[in-house]
Amino acid sequence: MQTKVLRKIVKIDEEKCNGCGACVPACVEGALQIIDGKARLIKEIYCDGLGACLGECPQGAIIIEEREAEEFNEEETKHHLHEKEHAKGELPCGCPGTAVRQFAYPATDEAVPEETVRPRSMLRHWPVQLTLVPPGVPFLQGADVVLAADCVPFAYAGFHHDFLKEHALLVACPKLDDFQAHLSKLTEILRRSDVKSLTVVHMEVPCCSGLVHMAKQAMRLSGKDIPLEEVTIGVKGDRKA
């Protein structure tokens, strides 16, 4: 059992925390994680108490307090980070279904009344999951990109018409996926692709706003300054102002 000492360590106010996940990538020791919709300190030995995560919380839910806690263990933290990195590397499946593809569609027959035509998919490429998209693929070069939360296309009926037309698509979940891995991938995409604009479409639930934070941080890390638009979709499928 670890000996407890009086030292500085992070404290999270669960009342203020909305689970956006902005603090998670800011903690280089990997001590923070979103669990049950709230940021949690997963182990005291992973927190060095320096507070790099403080400035990243938009709700001001994280402070540094001095209390009895297990000592920071640098070796255990390195092992923890190694395990996270190893698990992250195993995510892409490498199966044939991840092969990059772009699509071309024939023009709609104008002689047929529009109301009798089944809506056509406006997806222009594959894959779409951020984890599986290689940073330098042609469909991202010079593209207007939509970064959508996983639930958005199910909630918003007009997703294809309003967001996919003439756009490249990236899909991610800021709550259930590996936030740090997504941030690294999006940063590399922005570095290597001449993206013209980025539209982030997320659900109105608080944790989903972490996708906006991810996009802003990726732009900062990549050194790119591109137009960024945020669109919020309600859980009933309405588009918020």
Q: Where are the alpha helices (DSSP H) in 27-111?
A: 74-89
pLDDT of residue 148: 98
pLDDT of residue 117: 63
Q: Please indicate, yes or no, whether the overall pTM of this predicted structure exceeds 0.75.
A: no
- Domain that includes residue 64, residue range: 4-89
pLDDT of residue 159: 96
Q: Are residues 218 and 129 in the same domain?
A: yes
> Hey, is 186 helix, strand or coil?
helix
Residue 29 belongs to domain with CATH number = 3.30.70.20
pLDDT of residue 100: 58
pLDDT of residue 90: 45
pLDDT of residue 38: 84
Candidates 145, 126, 149, 133; CA nearest to 181 is 133
pLDDT of residue 188: 93
pLDDT of residue 106: 58
Q: How far apart are the first and last CA of the chain?
A: 53
Local structure of residue 59 (DSSP, 8 states): T
pLDDT of residue 197: 97
Q: Where are the alpha helices (DSSP H) in 19-68?
A: 23-26
Q: What is the distance between the alpha carbons of residues 229 and 236, in angstroms, rounded to a whole number? A: 21
Q: What is the distance between the alpha carbons of residues 134 and 215, in angstroms, rounded to a whole number? A: 17
Q: Is the residue at 108 inside a domain? A: no
Which of 54, 89, 124 marks a domain boundary?
Answer: 89
Q: Is the residue at 188 inside a domain? A: yes
Under-50 pLDDT residues of the chain? 88-94
Structural domains in the chain (count): 2
Candidates 34, 83, 28, 35; CA nearest to 50 is 28
pLDDT of residue 105: 55
Q: What is the distance between the alpha carbons of residues 153 and 160, in angstroms, rounded to a whole number? A: 8
Which of 39, 72, 89 marks a domain boundary?
Answer: 89
Residue type, 39: A
pLDDT of residue 108: 52
